[in-house]
Structure 1
């Protein structure tokens, strides 16, 4: 049979699939086709976002021992390719899925890449009839993993059926199970916020529990909301075998125990509920968000872990290390698997973001007038106050108003019902910010007083609204002001704006806060989010400890010198993560005894925005500091060495949109450049002006020049009307639209006739396309 005319799909259905089935692979449970591994990176252009379909990773075949335990990748090509042409793609997917076997085929045979070197050969060619069976690959796989026959049933234990796991979740679960089977007593998984750590923990616990490798399990978290969400959501399948520890006495008849770690520890020996269990009661202890303090030798977490030292300890965190002195790696060892924020954004599972950094005049340095007194009549100490003092030793109430005004302006320009979290310095600051936002949004706050809510540890009414805030089907609350309560454990998928007016020095806390916006919810139009930063917290993106540097920063002028913030006071500010309970820090002020700090509250000092810088997510995830124009000039220079080179490429292109798309892939933001220029310039003029110093013309000016040259004289009747309409369309919307075939279905062209009739007016499709190219040449003459 001549295979050359056959499509890739034909090769798969007629040759590859039959070969796999003949080798013993079950079509329903072991052989899956067209497996989507990634969703495709979300690309933000101005205020629009879409997925880049070119970045979607889709494997032709994934071969499984059973659902959840992948063994091999098979990539198919049509018969006009060689048998080897798909192997590199297969190896890329095999690395993603953490499997040792990769195959490629064109229907004539297979190339088999065998990382296990079972027969001492890394890569070989085999016939269609020689494809290995599931049993053969499994034997090689477990030997490669170092999994002995006595623990093989544990590793091969079924996943809980239901929601399919993403590839990195499978990797994390399987790596953790493998570590348990090898007797590793301390295991660390590092997964970015929003990537499903709790779901991953559930599958690990489920498989170990079902295999009886862990008969009794303790799941610890540090926020009550985390425990409750876990119990009612991901852990629900455990049903009657599960309980939450809430009382001072415990029922030891359960097998799965969930607990707030504060609920099982206390200052007195008699309050340590965990001691009601024998030391060997639990086989597995899972510590969620373990960066918070389990690493510290004197923490309450470590008391529990030391007590249940015979159990396997599994730590879950978004950040492996909190400080130079105290590290989770010190306790747990190196992570068995890591999935970073950068990778999550690259794969399209996490939302990208842009950052608006706002400088306030008083934050850059303010000195009181001689003898100035604050609201309580205290004489304000005469010194320079800067950003690190704001809402700590100095409260300028009109600063709250300035920030509320800027937040409101942003929402008015985008979406006033966009879920927004405002992170404040402490509870008192969160209360003041709520009031300032209520006043700034009095129209909506009058209609519904829950438009803005303070959600902090001490505020019962606010905490009762937390579920409504994170529920995408509930409109209110829209804006939540908080301090630390919402730093973790708040799965607000539709959060579109994260506001930072809080001093953040902890990389872990910064990542957790950023994680409030990284979830994607396509059903509700949440594909990306904005960070509005008033405290220069986003400078942490430039820290090597941040795992992605996933924003491109454009700064028109060098920043003011960064003034390091003073040390946080109390356990909540401990950068080692010494969080005690879920309440926010107590307010610091003159009426707060024992704080050791005087705080001045001043009402009459005006505060203004003096500078803003917008930061964008770039295609390579590198943090750069050029202005938008400089960045554009550099990127264009990489593609075109001169103006002549650009003009030749532009004029030679049948579709100008192809050049525009190519430059956009390099990170050129034409919408933002046009907005900055303040004129309706199309990409051609933006490139010529910014990269090569040419005087730009607006789209309207270019269209008028075409009309002055009497370009339409050679056309008559319907053809002339079509070209005039297209020229007006260019002036309004740009070159991209007139090149699209569907433009003939849009107003006002749809009023002239059907697309077939309009094309026929030029004598046919070829003549119509020639007229469009001639129109473009005249536009850019």
Structure 2
């Protein structure tokens, strides 16, 4: 028996892994690097937002992730030190195992293993030298999981793994594996649900690659309803297919001899069926021409029994058909589930944000007086064009649909423009969702007038992107490109609700009455893509219509949405804008009604992923008191902390949003976080930073130091007055130009007798700053 430097009971978790768990695995033939991944993170860590700042939480990771093949993890092993029982980590391992879709999980403290088998539901203890081999686990997976020969074969098919290829994230892997195995088993209609921004087209690429590599499928049709949804995969995710792929266009359709030159065809419903449904270009292909069809945005019309788009799927009914969507839809007109069956896998927006793969959001809800109180015209009131306005109450649902209050549109443009100006964020790409195309046109003009200085420099600063606006649509790719500065502010109605991969979009403005949960989810998805290289870690929703009430709806992130009226379904011919069932109502235009902002409230996502609905002040106060019940408790903790910033960071984790409060409340710039907390939670009168600095100087505290050391501390006090306590606690502050006169950091520190003495002096200085309250 091996001898160790310290007793097993005193070893750290890492010691237990190195000395007991890893050797046990290796002795059973599990190979480092190919079969075992150590401390494998499978999430990126949730992004937490506080004010204009954000930071990532720790990623979730397994101590050991064991693989049967490169694309099939088979077991999770969770390690604990020997002070814990052998099964202490089992529930944690089970949680990870369910997320990662593995059949077996284990916990160990170095004495033995405890196993949970998801295939049978049974648990058992396994001796350290009896851990199962890879083949033993595989045989159990085949037997108890009742894997068919086809499933077994597909599990051994590899992903596309070229040197520059991305490795699938865990949820993409699950969607890919479940789909290809279902196809291998003969399932003809399949759907999976991945939240917007989580890589549906990449997942589709891997599915197609594996099915073709296995020889199960030979000719593929990739269907979508927007040009951008065809061009993006053709140029990006499907690029490895090289000259095996083509986009179906008029040239190809008129050249039947070219049909057989390709294996993968990307096409638009409209191109194949004709805009009005009278053309049947799809019939130029034989009904058995394709053996696999992948349908992007499957919620948009393809599952409607009476739609012309559905006729394409019916024509190619012999092909396996895979539907992809972020928002499966169930209503009295459209049923994804009826056509495709229940989703084979679902990865939701909430999961994406929790895992850190999607950007979190905060909500600013703006109420105008006219929205709260409604508008009723005086008797005989005429509009801009001399029409007598019908005498009734007009509310949010009427504005810009049946009646246009010109000043309201201008106030929306001004509020958002001021928001961007005040944050020095005028080049944050933003999408304004409007009631209709005419509203989008007026909003573009109002935004242009609010930003005339930047329009003078570049007319593309504000652009309208709606159906029929050729100039705007041509700029869509530039809007989506992080490297292109313009356009910045974009107005739309329906066109940009789906299919816009605009990673750098930081602002979503809602000034439309969005009734459909499907449409709402799609719109929110325009902001969820992360782009940390370009400073996009979260996005802001500015809501002028109370649309964000839908966040509280259980359907927001739950099962397929039930919409009884079918109000957002595409028209029969497959276009993007619903056709009115009644003649359009004429609009009234009112130019002389003043509009004022009544209030604007900020809502953000808490640590549990829920949108905070109470005021940020009340919510933060409750959480401060939950951490420090009394004023004395708080002051003592503040005084004892080596770094005051550590207290603030801990409170932020507990749901205290000081930066958000500073953004939403006035007259808080002169007080620091300590005084804001005193005022917020304990009702104490705050002192300004300038008052605290003056008190330190008046007490003569600094005169105990040499002239040069005193001058250093006086500069630090000035820095505190400018930017708060956290900056003077950091040693890097001495690199600022203010300290250049002292011949470098080492010279400054030596004036205090060394680094430790300098840090003690700063610590005492911070205590002195808060002496008055203590």
The answer on 1:388 being equivalent to 2:397 is: yes
Aligned to 1:271, the other structure's residue is in SS state coil
Conserved? CA contact 1:427–1:585, under 8 Å: no
Counterpart CA distance in 1 for 2:158 and 2:435 is: 47
Query: Please, which moves more after superposition, 350-359 or 177-186?
Result: 177-186
Give the match for residue 435 of structure 1: 445
Counterpart CA distance in 1 for 2:91 and 2:118 is: 17
Counterpart CA distance in 2 for 1:428 and 1:284 is: 41
Aligned to 2:115, the other structure's residue is in SS state strand
Give the match for residue 726 of structure 1: 716
The answer on 1:294 being equivalent to 2:294 is: no
For normalisation by structure 1, the TM-score amounts to 0.88
Q: How much does 1:482 deviate?
A: 1.4
1:469-517 per-residue CA deviation (whole Å, 9 max, x = no partner) reads 1111111222221111111111011111111121111111111111111
Q: How much does 1:355 deviate?
A: 1.8
Give the match for residue 479 of structure 1: 489
CA RMSD after TM alignment: 3.2
1:267-297 per-residue CA deviation (whole Å, 9 max, x = no partner) reads 9987233345554444333221112233433
Give the match for residue 639 of structure 1: 627
Counterpart CA distance in 2 for 1:268 and 1:720 is: 82
The alpha-carbon distance between structure 1 residues 773 and 196, as it changes in their structure 2 partners (threshold 3 A), is: same
Give the match for residue 242 of structure 2: 239
Give the match for residue 125 of structure 2: 124
For normalisation by structure 2, the TM-score amounts to 0.88
Give the match for residue 617 of structure 1: 605
Conserved? CA contact 1:147–1:178, under 8 Å: no
Conserved? CA contact 1:42–1:352, under 8 Å: yes
Query: Please, which moves more after superposition, 267-276 or 669-678?
Result: 267-276
Counterpart CA distance in 1 for 2:544 and 2:612 is: 20
Give the match for residue 186 of structure 1: 189
Q: How much does 1:753 deviate?
A: 5.6
Counterpart CA distance in 2 for 1:166 and 1:539 is: 32
Query: Please, which moves more after superposition, 672-681 or 109-118?
Result: 109-118
Counterpart CA distance in 1 for 2:707 and 2:89 is: 54
1:96-130 per-residue CA deviation (whole Å, 9 max, x = no partner) reads 21112334566x56625242567x96242333x54
The within-5 A match list for 1:196-345 is 196-247=199-250, 253=260, 254-265=262-273, 271-323=279-331, 326-345=334-353
Conserved? CA contact 1:36–1:58, under 8 Å: yes
The alpha-carbon distance between structure 1 residues 232 and 424, as it changes in their structure 2 partners (threshold 3 A), is: same
Aligned to 2:149, the other structure's residue is in SS state coil
Counterpart CA distance in 2 for 1:525 and 1:767 is: 38
1:423-456 per-residue CA deviation (whole Å, 9 max, x = no partner) reads 1222222222222222222222122222222212
Q: 1:681 aligns with which of 648, 668, 671?
A: 671
The answer on 1:153 being equivalent to 2:166 is: no
The answer on 1:57 being equivalent to 2:60 is: yes
Counterpart CA distance in 2 for 1:223 and 1:15 is: 56
Give the match for residue 640 of structure 2: 652
Counterpart CA distance in 1 for 2:14 and 2:736 is: 36
The answer on 1:702 being equivalent to 2:703 is: no
Counterpart CA distance in 1 for 2:676 and 2:636 is: 16
The alpha-carbon distance between structure 1 residues 46 and 513, as it changes in their structure 2 partners (threshold 3 A), is: same
1:314-363 per-residue CA deviation (whole Å, 9 max, x = no partner) reads 22111233547754234333322111111111111111122222223333
Counterpart CA distance in 2 for 1:391 and 1:3 is: 78
Q: How much does 1:411 deviate?
A: 2.3
Q: How much does 1:576 deviate?
A: 4.4
Give the match for residue 515 of structure 2: 505
Unaligned runs of 5+ in 1: 550-566
The alpha-carbon distance between structure 1 residues 340 and 241, as it changes in their structure 2 partners (threshold 3 A), is: same
The alpha-carbon distance between structure 1 residues 125 and 26, as it changes in their structure 2 partners (threshold 3 A), is: closer
Unaligned runs of 5+ in 2: none
The alpha-carbon distance between structure 1 residues 616 and 366, as it changes in their structure 2 partners (threshold 3 A), is: same
Query: Please, which moves more after superposition, 325-334 or 156-165?
Result: 325-334
The within-5 A match list for 1:344-423 is 344-364=352-372, 365-413=374-422, 414-423=424-433
The alpha-carbon distance between structure 1 residues 435 and 36, as it changes in their structure 2 partners (threshold 3 A), is: same
Counterpart CA distance in 1 for 2:731 and 2:597 is: 46
The answer on 1:97 being equivalent to 2:87 is: no
Q: How much does 1:92 deviate?
A: 3.7
1:709-757 per-residue CA deviation (whole Å, 9 max, x = no partner) reads 3323444444433433333333322222333333444453564465454
Counterpart CA distance in 1 for 2:502 and 2:450 is: 24
Conserved? CA contact 1:361–1:607, under 8 Å: yes
Give the match for residue 179 of structure 2: 176
Conserved? CA contact 2:66–2:76, under 8 Å: yes
Q: 2:701 aligns with which of 694, 706, 711?
A: 711
Conserved? CA contact 2:604–2:611, under 8 Å: no
